[in-house]
Amino acid sequence: MSDPTPLLAPLKPAVCEARVWSPRGFIIDPWHYLDDGEQCPANGHAIVPLTRWRTESNLRNGPIVGVEVQPTDVLEADLVDIARLPLVVLVFPKFTDGRAYSTARRLRGHWGYRGEIRARGDVLLDQLPLMLGCGFDSFEIRDAATLRSLERGYTPAVARRYDPTGSRMRRSPISSRSQAALAAAE
Amino acid sequence: MYRYDDFDRHLVAERVQSFRDQVARRLSGELTEEQFKPLRLQNGLYLQLHAYMLRIAIPYGVLGTRQLRRLAQISRRFDRGLGHFTTRQNLQLNWIRLEDAPDILDALAEVGMHAIQTSGNCIRNVTTDPYAGVAVDEIEDARIWAEVLRQWSTVHPEFSFLPRKFKIAVTAAAEDRAATAFHDIGLRLTRANGGATGFRVLVGGGQGRSPYIAQTLSEFVPQQHLLSYLEAILRVYNLHGRRDNIYKARIKILVHALGIDEMRRQVEAEWAAMDKDALDLPPGELARIRARFASRPLPLVEWQDAAIDARRRADAAFARWEKNNVRPHRSAGRAIVNVSLKEPGKVPGDANAAQMEVVADLAERYSHDEVRVTYQQSLVLPHVAVRDLPAVYDGLVAAGLATANTDLVTDIIACPGLDYCNLANARAIPVAQAIARRFAEPARAEAIGRIRLNISGCINACGHHHAGNIGILGVDKKGTEHYQITIGGSPGDDAAIGSILGPSFPAEAVPDAIEAIIDTYLSLRSKPAESFLDTVRRVGLEPFRETLYGTGRVAADAPTKEPVHV
């Protein structure tokens, strides 16, 4: 007989200070989040909420600025401008809220965005392959178990994935495979 | 059937390894239940009332004999020697231990199977016509497209955390045997004037507490652009579908809120901005996938057979089974055999391990190693030579699988209900059993003719009660199980949602109520060929209401109350 009772385990995940990880390893993060009302430094790498960036025109000239985008933010008319920024931070309020995956793919696909896309919020080990697949490059991680795994050099890599999509991000296995099959047939 | 290549095998093996690791991290406490839940669901593992349930994917309902034998083995070793075939053409094992799940997935992977995306807020197992590839009325083989969609949707990075589950059905024949209008996306392959094939795309259908018939989003999407068009729909849904209320999170609610025209505008705008070359199926890929279906060509067989004629004359039970369960095959001399899992008194959709093995043996000998699962929860042997029908029949009789009731009143769809499911309000299985026993006399069921009777144990409608010609819905009425009856629903080309007849009945009154409805139909039909559905459409609901609630008729327990609207 099976015991269906949920297992005893932490009810809440342990959280610690955020570290930024990329597939090349942990990185020293040059960026910092501007507090409300905090002036943007002339040479800093400052991250501001999209709403603030939209209203403060001086942020568009001079300082190196990245924007933080909530899932409720609609990126439409000003996307051309956003796509010129070096960093776009997409927020996952809960890891089950998948809107940022679509936003990342719209940025990469429609607007050919080549800057950095960073995941922030409830960023967990098992979703990293999906985020990588959608064009994220860096990950601001607070979940202690995820950080421990990454520190051990462990990633839950799913190397193979059917994906007839997104050739701009990487070679798609399905098309490279079919090309190989066609080559073999000839 | 589709044969895996190395890539497919490695992909599934990697997924099993990844899930094994996730289970280990769950058991060690590294993952919380909240973090683990979507991961196990996307690998088919549910927590039910009494145990874990594993829902194994049977992509578009196609099984090989080796696979069916493996399912039998797994059910013996890890479950109670029993499997339940579902309305998504999948198989559920109801008594699983969490610790065994990775080993079961390994055993499945060895025969090219998995449980990926049979649950969770992602694109679920794509369903199709159980007669695809063999139906007389088909334009193309829908299985090829279903496999394309399986590959496209498997571990799709963008669509693994949608607002809610997402179900796609595809059909490529004249008759819709896949209930496409009740899906989040329904795809109907059509041929344009010039001869090119494409898809009519329906969106926003569904059952549950807010049933909707899908509406046409596009009359014709060229087949080569299907994937980018689907990406556009899914993306609009992923970004704008509601996430604040689980009951309003399906795409049908978004379509209803926006209206089909605004939905179309948003999808078209998204689609127009997409780089279709990067998203659509690469040239040659369709042919590659089709080639992996190539099986041994079916040898031509004689259409006429003296022995079978003699058997028909001598054995009325055989003749009845052939008449009710056997359908024409596209190649002369062959037939499609429906193997009913609906013996009156048994659990609809259940098969024990020995029965699975019998069907596998028969498929190996007589049906080119192939079996199909229908969304009506039965099995199909798709390639039987007409001259082999007596042998197949005898084999099925010996295993208790020759019930001659395909598409008849006892061919009931029922969800697991309160016997297993923690969502249910009421039991579905005992009600199905009681009704089937009432109509167990084959001549009587045959006289009633083609009818779809569906039972759900709660408003989530897994038993498709909205789409039943007769639908039965279990409700909780002050702590007791009651059943509300609808009529006039249809899953087919003429898709319709059933209408509630009136107040609900206690379980013991349901067979009488159904019998009264059927008798009313029999007395009202213009000719024996007029189906139940056609009669309801012609005469309306009133005669049936009068039968159930009029003076001196079958008594609902509280006729003065309003119907329970859900």
Question: Cα–Cα distance between B274 and B565 in angstroms, integer?
Answer: 43
Which DSSP string do the residues of B238-260 spell out, in sequence order?
A: HHHS--S-GGG-SHHHHHHHH-H
Strand partners, B379: B339, B373
- pLDDT for B187 equals 98
Q: pLDDT above 90 covers what percent of chain B?
A: 79
The per-residue b/e assignment along A104-125, b for 16 or more CB within 10 angstroms, e otherwise, is bbbbbbbeebeebbbbbbbbbb
Distances, alpha carbon B128 to alpha carbons B64, B89, B141, B206, B287, in Å? 17, 9, 10, 16, 20
Which of A70, A95, A96, A152 would best serve as a mutation to test chain B binding (most B beta carbons within 10 A)? Answer: A96
| Beta-carbon pairs below 8 A across chains A and B | 158
Question: Cα–Cα distance between B440 and B451 in angstroms, integer?
Answer: 15
- pLDDT for A78 equals 79
- Say if CB B485 and CB B471 are below 8 A apart: yes
The per-residue b/e assignment along B175-186, b for 16 or more CB within 10 angstroms, e otherwise, is ebbbbbbbbbbb
The alpha-carbon gap from B418 to the nearest alpha carbon of chain A, in Å, equals 16
- Say if CB B496 and CB B490 are below 8 A apart: yes
- pLDDT for B363 equals 97
Cβ separation A95–B52 shorter than 8 A: no
- pLDDT for A7 equals 52
Strand partners, A32: A46
Question: Cα–Cα distance between B105 and B54 in angstroms, integer?
Answer: 10
Q: How many other CB atoms sit within 10 Å of the CB of residue B7?
A: 17
The alpha-carbon gap from A20 to the nearest alpha carbon of chain B, in Å, equals 20
3-state helix, strand, coil in chain B (%, to 5): 40, 20, 40
Chain A residues in contact with B26 by the CB 8 A cut-off are: 7, 9
Cβ separation A173–B7 shorter than 8 A: yes
- Say if CB B24 and CB B84 are below 8 A apart: no
Q: How many other CB atoms sit within 10 Å of the CB of residue B75?
A: 24
Structure tokens at B181: 């209008």
- Given the structure tokens 């496409």, which residue do they identify? B180
Distance, C-alpha B341 to centroid of its chain:
14
Cβ separation A2–B227 shorter than 8 A: no
- Given the structure tokens 């259908």, which residue do they identify? B205
- pLDDT for A42 equals 76
Mean pLDDT for the stretch of residues A76-98: 91
The whole-chain average pLDDT of chain A stands at 80
> Of all helices (H) and strands (E), which one includes residue A79?
helix A79-82
Mean pLDDT for the stretch of residues B136-142: 94
**Reported pTM:** 0.92
CB under 8 Å to B432, separation ≥6 — which residues? B347, B348, B412, B414, B455
B226 CB burial (10 A radius; 0-12, 13-18, 19+): buried
Question: Cα–Cα distance between B295 and B286 in angstroms, integer?
Answer: 16
Which DSSP string do the residues of B376-429 spell out, in sequence order?
A: TS-EEEEEEEGGGHHHHHHHHHHTT-----TTSTT--EE--GGGT-SS-SS-SH
Question: Cα–Cα distance between B232 and B234 in angstroms, integer?
Answer: 6
Cβ separation A161–B32 shorter than 8 A: no
What are φ and ψ of residue B216, in 5° steps? -80, 120
B 20-49 → A contacts, CB under 8 A: 21-22, 25-27, 29-33, 35, 38-39, 47-49
B530 CB burial (10 A radius; 0-12, 13-18, 19+): middle
**Range in A41-55, B63-77, B365-379, B501-515 with the lowest mean pLDDT:** A41-55
The alpha-carbon gap from B201 to the nearest alpha carbon of chain A, in Å, equals 20
- pLDDT for A163 equals 59
What are φ and ψ of residue B187, in 5° steps? -115, 125
pLDDT level of residue B535 (50, 70, 90 thresholds): very high
- pLDDT for B418 equals 87
**Range in A58-62, B314-318, B521-525, B539-543 with the lowest mean pLDDT:** A58-62
- pLDDT for B206 equals 95
The SS3 assignment for B517 reads helix
CB under 8 Å to B308, separation ≥6 — which residues? B386, B387, B389, B390
Question: Cα–Cα distance between B387 and A120 in angstroms, integer?
Answer: 65
Q: Which residue of A has its CA nearest to B150?
A: A162
Residue B240 gets the label, from left (phi > 0), alpha (psi -120 to 50) or beta, of alpha
- pLDDT for A2 equals 43
Decide if pLDDT at B511 tops 60: yes
Q: pLDDT above 70 covers what percent of chain A?
A: 76
> Of all helices (H) and strands (E), which one includes residue B360?
helix B353-366
What confidence tens digit (pLDDT) does each residue in B210-239 have? 999 999 999 999 999 999 999 999 999 999
Distance, C-alpha B205 to centroid of its chain:
15
Question: Cα–Cα distance between A75 and A97 in angstroms, integer?
Answer: 17
Strand partners, A69: A90
Alpha helix ranges (H) inside B408-509: 429-438, 442-448
Alpha helix ranges (H) inside B95-163: 101-109, 142-153
Question: Cα–Cα distance between B467 and B207 in angstroms, integer?
Answer: 8
Question: Cα–Cα distance between B369 and B353 in angstroms, integer?
Answer: 18
Decide if pLDDT at A10 tops 80: no
- Say if CB B79 and CB B95 are below 8 A apart: yes
Mean pLDDT for the stretch of residues B13-20: 90
Decide if pLDDT at B339 tops 80: yes
- pLDDT for A174 equals 34
Residue A26 gets the label, from left (phi > 0), alpha (psi -120 to 50) or beta, of beta
pLDDT level of residue A153 (50, 70, 90 thresholds): confident
Question: Cα–Cα distance between B364 and A186 in angstroms, integer?
Answer: 34
Mean pLDDT for the stretch of residues B387-411: 97
Among A148, A164, A173, the residue with its CB nearest the CB of B279 is A164
Structure tokens at B423: 């969502």
- pLDDT for A184 equals 40
- pLDDT for A178 equals 36
Which of B16, B35, B96 would best serve as a mutation to test chain A binding (most A beta carbons within 10 A)? Answer: B35
**Range in A51-65, B170-184, B526-540 with the lowest mean pLDDT:** A51-65
Mean pLDDT for the stretch of residues A89-111: 93
Among candidates B138, B141, B198, which has minimal Cα distance to B174?
B138
Mean pLDDT for the stretch of residues A52-69: 87
What confidence tens digit (pLDDT) does each residue in B80-128 have? 999 999 998 999 998 998 889 999 999 999 999 999 999 999 999 999 9
Cβ separation B32–A10 shorter than 8 A: yes
Structure tokens at B376: 């009506």
The whole-chain average pLDDT of chain B stands at 92
3-state helix, strand, coil in chain A (%, to 5): 30, 25, 45
- Say if CB B486 and CB B500 are below 8 A apart: yes
Chain A residues in contact with B54 by the CB 8 A cut-off are: none
The pairs formed by B468-471 with CB atoms below 8 angstroms and a separation of 24 or more are: B468/B413, B468/B498, B469/B498, B469/B531, B469/B532, B469/B533, B469/B536, B470/B498, B470/B514, B470/B517, B470/B532, B471/B498
**Range in A36-40, B170-174, B301-305, B452-456 with the lowest mean pLDDT:** B301-305
- pLDDT for A176 equals 37
- Say if CB B65 and CB B360 are below 8 A apart: yes
Decide if pLDDT at A177 tops 60: no
Decide if pLDDT at A185 tops 60: no
User: Of A70 and A169, which is predicted with more confidence?
Assistant: A70
Three-state SS string over A87-151 comes to EEEEEECCCCCCHHHHHHHHHHHHCCCCCEEEEEECCCHHHHHHHHHCCCCEEEEEEHHHHHHHH
- pLDDT for A186 equals 33
Among A2, A10, A101, the residue with its CB nearest the CB of B52 is A2
The alpha-carbon gap from B239 to the nearest alpha carbon of chain A, in Å, equals 5
- Say if CB B436 and CB B344 are below 8 A apart: yes
The alpha-carbon gap from B144 to the nearest alpha carbon of chain A, in Å, equals 15
Q: Which residue of B has its CA nearest to A10?
A: B32
- pLDDT for A159 equals 55
- Say if CB B469 and CB B453 are below 8 A apart: yes
User: Of A183 and B280, which is predicted with more confidence?
Assistant: B280
